[in-house]
Structure 1
Amino acid sequence: MAKKRRKFVQCPNCGYTFEEVNNYCPNCGQENHDLNVPVKHLVEEFFESTLHYDTKFWRTFKYLITRPGYLTEKFNMGQRVAYVPPFRLYVFVSIFFFTTIALFASENLVVNDGEGAIEKLEATDPDAAARVMQADSLARSRAGLTLSDTSSVMLNEDLDNKFRNFLKNEEQSRQKLLKNISFMMFVLMPFFGFILYLSYRSQRRNYVEHLMFSVHFHTFVFLLIIFATLTEVVFSSFDTNGWVILISMAYLFFALRYVYKEPYLRTAVKLIPIGLTYMISLGILFLATLGISVLLS
């Protein structure tokens, strides 16, 4: 829906004389729209533009969830005005994603302190705790005999201290890990786009088309994980991990089929290396992110 403009004859900012087609000043860039009107006009204009954006917003979400690959196809064809831009959509959803994880699922991101676990074991089974501590002591003594280089020992002790510090400051560590994971996902998106670029290089598409596919796919996965997390909050006995992976792979299959227009069998065959490469990359990046989080603690 076109915006109703109350146009000036001259730009009030720089004095440029407007032509009828000028919605913005060609000289200074200021919008050619008079806001010096009664308040009721501004209120009507606000609700009109908000309703228009809400329509675009909900239309985008509907197609993202129900029609895999549709938004990517429309973007690549240049039909973009009716939908929320991919990166803006991703940022909007990712805010809710990391907020949901921080509130309801962040306790799963950090393992318990080893010393705390031994203390709990001592309370329930002193003999087992004693055996664990004895084995730990023996392992440390053997390491001391094996590592003759003093600098190596000091390095290991420094890493050990950082890891213990990471485990002790649980809340701070969770927040740091979540922040680093958000950056990790931002790195993973263009990498997944590159995987698609290599997998479909025979189609000679621009990399941006694959990148937009990756952005839409990750946005959907974020929405799926949000829904799964909230489901587990309501139904604590229900494990959604398997369903998240299954639905994500099914969505990826139909999105690949819709965007790249290859037969179902060929798409299924390509899905295997694409999915495996993605999962391996995700695992490596997560371990690297965890290691960096520990080193910076």
Structure 2
Amino acid sequence: MQKRRRKLTQCPNCGYIFEEVNNYCPNCGQENHDLNVPVKHLVEEFLEGTLHYDAKFWVTLKYLLFKPGLLTEKFILGQRASYVPPFRLYVFISLVFFFTLAISPSAMQVDLNASDRLEQMGPEEREAMAELDSLRTSIGGAVTNESMAELLERAQSPELNSKQLREKIIKNISFMMFLLMPLFGYLLYLFYRRLQRNYVEHLMFSIHMHSFFFMLFTVYLALKFILPEHVDLFAVVLLITAVYAYLAMRRVYKQSYLKTLLTFLPLTLVYLFCLLIALLGNVAVSVLLT
């Protein structure tokens, strides 16, 4: 929708004489739009702009949820004006997600029975814990002085403020996911390097994927407020995410179903490994800094 302007003949900021086509002053950049009008007109303009943005947002949200990869495809084709910009969409959805996560009573709870769990571990679990110890250097220099077992023991310490720990973990997750988003874009760039596409295209795909993931998990967390405790839809959420990602890759990268699957599987494994390391680092650093 084109903005209806009340154009001036002269720029009030620098005195430049406008031509009819000037929507902005070529000299100072100020908008050629007279705001010295009754409040009623300003309210009408605000409502007009808000309703137009709402229409754009709902169309964007519909495509994001039900048309995997379509927003990325339209961005690559240059069809962008009718949709919310990817970064703005990601910021809005992630804010809603982290707010829901923060108020969710069952999310991000720290197990305070770490010692009991360590005693109950079998040989295979202890071996897995040893392997996690070997990854300490990958999840931050601060963790190199403590093993994962020691961190678990520290997490159940009575001196540890569980509320502060929860808040710090959630805060760090937002930063962690913001860093993982360009990383996933770079992984796409590596896996699809033969297509010779620009990194920005892969980054836009990553932004839309993470936006969908956050939206889906927001719904999941909201459902946990109303569903019985024994009903857990986490596996369903993971399945939907996997199917969505596969279909989105199929649409955006225009490869056969088999080629897409052969790229999707190793790409997912690599990203999940990076996500695991980032989550372990987040918990470890949050415990150490609380």
Give TM-score scaled by structure 1 length.
0.82
Q: Where does 1:125-140 land on structure 2 (aligned, <5 Å)?
A: none
* Shift in alpha-carbon separation, 1:241–1:107, aligned structure 2, 3 A: closer
Displacement after TM superposition at 1:108 (Å):
3.1
- Residue aligning to 2:66: 66
* Shift in alpha-carbon separation, 1:19–1:109, aligned structure 2, 3 A: farther
Which stretch shifts more, 162-171 or 277-286? 162-171
- Residue aligning to 2:98: 98
CA contact (8 A) 2:108 2:166 kept: no
Displacement after TM superposition at 1:186 (Å):
0.4
Displacement after TM superposition at 1:62 (Å):
0.4
Q: Read off the aligned partner of 1:110 and give its amino acid letter.
A: V
- Residue aligning to 2:283: 290
Structure with larger Rg: 1
CA contact (8 A) 1:166 1:173 kept: no
Displacement after TM superposition at 1:43 (Å):
1.7
* Shift in alpha-carbon separation, 1:250–1:54, aligned structure 2, 3 A: same
* Shift in alpha-carbon separation, 1:167–1:110, aligned structure 2, 3 A: farther
Displacement after TM superposition at 1:270 (Å):
1.1
- Residue aligning to 1:55: 55
Q: Read off the aligned partner of 1:62 and give its amino acid letter.
A: K
Displacement after TM superposition at 1:232 (Å):
1.8
Q: Read off the aligned partner of 1:228 and give its amino acid letter.
A: Y
- Residue aligning to 1:200: 192
CA contact (8 A) 1:23 1:33 kept: yes
Displacement after TM superposition at 1:229 (Å):
1.1
CA contact (8 A) 1:112 1:167 kept: no
Quick check: 1:173 aligned with 2:165?
A: yes
Quick check: 1:11 aligned with 2:3?
A: no
CA contact (8 A) 1:100 1:226 kept: yes
- Residue aligning to 2:133: none
Displacement after TM superposition at 1:170 (Å):
0.6
Instruction: Name the count of aligned residue pairs.
Output: 260
Q: Where does 1:12-161 land on structure 2 (aligned, <5 Å)?
A: 12-105=12-105, 107-112=107-112, 114=114
Identity of aligned residues (%): 54
Question: Take 2:282 and 2:44, find their aligned partners in 1: how far apart are those partners?
Answer: 48
Question: Take 1:167 and 1:97, find their aligned partners in 2: how far apart are those partners?
Answer: 30
Q: Read off the aligned partner of 1:224 and give its amino acid letter.
A: L
- Residue aligning to 1:139: none
Displacement after TM superposition at 1:16 (Å):
1.2
1:225 to 217, 228, 233: 217
- Residue aligning to 2:135: none
Question: Take 1:269 and 1:8, find their aligned partners in 2: how far apart are those partners?
Answer: 60
Which stretch shifts more, 39-48 or 188-197? 39-48
Q: Read off the aligned partner of 2:252 and give its amino acid letter.
A: V
Per-residue CA deviation, residues 201-257 of structure 1 (Å, 9 max, x unaligned), is 111000000000000000000010011111121112321110111000000000000
Which stretch shifts more, 187-196 or 165-174? 165-174
- Residue aligning to 1:272: 265
CA contact (8 A) 2:111 2:155 kept: no
Which stretch shifts more, 24-33 or 197-206? 24-33
- Residue aligning to 1:251: 244
Identify unmatched segments of 5+ residues in structure 1: 119-131, 133-154
Question: Take 1:202 and 1:265, find their aligned partners in 2: how far apart are those partners?
Answer: 17
Identify unmatched segments of 5+ residues in structure 2: 120-144
Give TM-score scaled by structure 2 length.
0.84
* Shift in alpha-carbon separation, 1:32–1:250, aligned structure 2, 3 A: same
CA contact (8 A) 2:172 2:282 kept: yes
Q: Which secondary structure does the structure 2 equivalent of 1:290 belong to?
A: helix
RMSD: 2.1
Question: Take 1:240 and 1:82, find their aligned partners in 2: how far apart are those partners?
Answer: 34
